[in-house]
Chains A and B, each alone.
Chain A
Amino acid sequence: AQKVTQAQTEISVVEKEDVTLDCVYETRDTTYYLFWYKQPPSGELVFLIRRNSFDEQNEISGRYSWNFQKSTSSFNFTITASQVVDSAVYFCALSEANFGNEKLTFGTGTRLTIIP
């Protein structure tokens, strides 16, 4: 069975600080996808990134960066120079890569609050 653990329930940092959101996953599949989503107060999920299990390269997109460590089954997300607009709940998710069975398993989410 798949499982995604986001141990940090809530995090608060002062604006402009860097913050890392942790994600640890469990799966028996050799091929899978990992995702991060942002959920602002409006409720709509915003897609941030998808990572294939075969691609362990870290990725940077503006102030966002992701560190995929297959050896520790972790897919951590870092926001540098945080801004108030980054305040949201962030979900890490896992999906099998088998066609027809691609349901997403979400972590419990981390509520990030950026203090002005």
Chain B
Amino acid sequence: GAVVSQHPSRVICKSGTSVKIECRSLDFQATTMFWYRQFPKQSLMLMATSNEGSKATYEQGVEKDKFLINHASLTLSTLTVTSAHPEDSSFYICSARVGGGGYNEQFFGPGTRLTVL
């Protein structure tokens, strides 16, 4: 099956620093990648949809200047949390889409747990 990796798996940083999270599709090309955020004991909330070579589409309420998304290639998307604060501490999960037409097959990465001190 299709494999999606995320790096790092866990990161702890000081308040005010920026953190970059990578999402890679290892054995397929992903024209679309999605970024989700999951707070403890809560559901996954879509943050943005990232299409290769174009600007990401952010969901309502998600600050695009706070969460910078770059999808520079068909196998890599990055999420940068700029000037992170404790309230940004969360589990960030990416997914990569396979398939065309109306067929929606998303493969999820293992997630990145961000803790901001």
B20-60 interface mask toward A, CB cutoff 8 Å, 1 = contact, 0 = none? 00000000000010100000011111100100000000000
A31 on the interface (CB 8 Å rule)? yes
8 A Cβ contacts from A57-116 to B: 91, 95, 97-99, 102-109, 111
Stretch among B61-69, B70-78, B80-88, B93-101 lining the A interface: B93-101
| Given known A44-B110, A91-B43, contact A50–B105 (CB-CB < 8 A) | yes
**Majority-rule SS of A interface residues:** loop
- The answer to whether B43 touches A97, judged by C-beta atoms less than 8 angstroms apart, is no
- The answer to whether A108 touches B42, judged by C-beta atoms less than 8 angstroms apart, is yes
| Given known A99-B100, A104-B34, contact A45–B43 (CB-CB < 8 A) | no
How many residues of A sit at the interface, in one of the four size bands? 20 to 34
The residue in chain A whose Cβ has the minimal distance to the Cβ of B106 is: A104
- The answer to whether B101 touches A43, judged by C-beta atoms less than 8 angstroms apart, is no
Q: Which residue of the partner chain, among B32, B104, B107, B109, contacts A95 with CB atoms under 8 Å?
A: B104
- The answer to whether B46 touches A104, judged by C-beta atoms less than 8 angstroms apart, is yes
- The answer to whether B91 touches A97, judged by C-beta atoms less than 8 angstroms apart, is no
- The answer to whether B110 touches A106, judged by C-beta atoms less than 8 angstroms apart, is no
Least Cβ–Cβ distance between A28 and chain B, in angstroms: 16
The residue in chain B whose Cβ has the minimal distance to the Cβ of A4 is: B43
- The answer to whether A109 touches B100, judged by C-beta atoms less than 8 angstroms apart, is no
**Alpha-carbon separation in the docked complex, A103 to B91 (Å):** 18
- The answer to whether A102 touches B104, judged by C-beta atoms less than 8 angstroms apart, is yes
- The answer to whether A106 touches B43, judged by C-beta atoms less than 8 angstroms apart, is yes
Q: Which residues of A contact B105 (CB under 8 A)?
A: 50
| Subset of 16 A-B contacts with CB under 8 Å | A31-B102, A45-B111, A50-B104, A98-B102, A99-B101, A99-B102, A102-B32, A102-B102, A102-B104, A103-B34, A103-B49, A105-B46, A106-B43, A107-B43, A109-B43, A111-B41
Partner-A contacts on B (CB < 8 A): 32, 34, 41-46, 49, 91, 93, 95, 97, 100-111, 113
* 10 further interface pairs, Cβ-Cβ under 8 Å (given A43-B91, A103-B34): A33-B104, A43-B93, A45-B108, A47-B107, A95-B104, A99-B101, A104-B34, A106-B43, A108-B42, A111-B41
